[in-house]
Amino acid sequence: MSLRQMTNKFLNALMIVGISLCFLYSVYALYMAGVRWAVAKIEAAGAKGMVIAGFYSVTQGEVIRSDDSCTLIEYYYEWDGADYRKVLYGVSDDYPVNTKVPVVYSVGMAMGSCLVVGFYRKHMLICGISGLILFVVSMVLKVKRKGK
């Protein structure tokens, strides 16, 4: 295998990784938008939660505690009617105390193990920007190589 072929394969792989990271961020952004839309519908109806397809539930939680060590979120669990708490060990400045946050959980998830929508937004944004940079760099390098 020649150096030219190896370089082309590397640039193709770089492009695929970039597209994949951008796609991952796009899916996460659609997920956040869909859950926020569901929470807006829940608030408009005055309900505590919404069951989607009998398997997933969307509700609105509240940040009880937020400090340097963890963030504590209390949310309503649809299937037994109790309030549970989720502890997130990661500092997020986006969630001060008394902030309302969308929460998603499924039937098979244990109590206290929900998905807090938007908590990883900054990390996913960095992932999407990195993918865009990788894609653009690989395209520029491919165009430069074809110009020679």
List Cα–Cα distances, 73 to 60, 117, 126, in angstroms.
10, 12, 25
This model's pTM is above 0.85:
no
Q: Evaluate if residue 148 carries a pLDDT over 70.
A: no
pLDDT of residue 147: 72
Residue 61 near residue 79, CB atoms below 8 Å: no
> Which two structure tokens, joined as six digits, stand for 131?
């993918």
Q: Evaluate if residue 107 carries a pLDDT over 90.
A: no
Q: Evaluate if residue 136 carries a pLDDT over 80.
A: yes
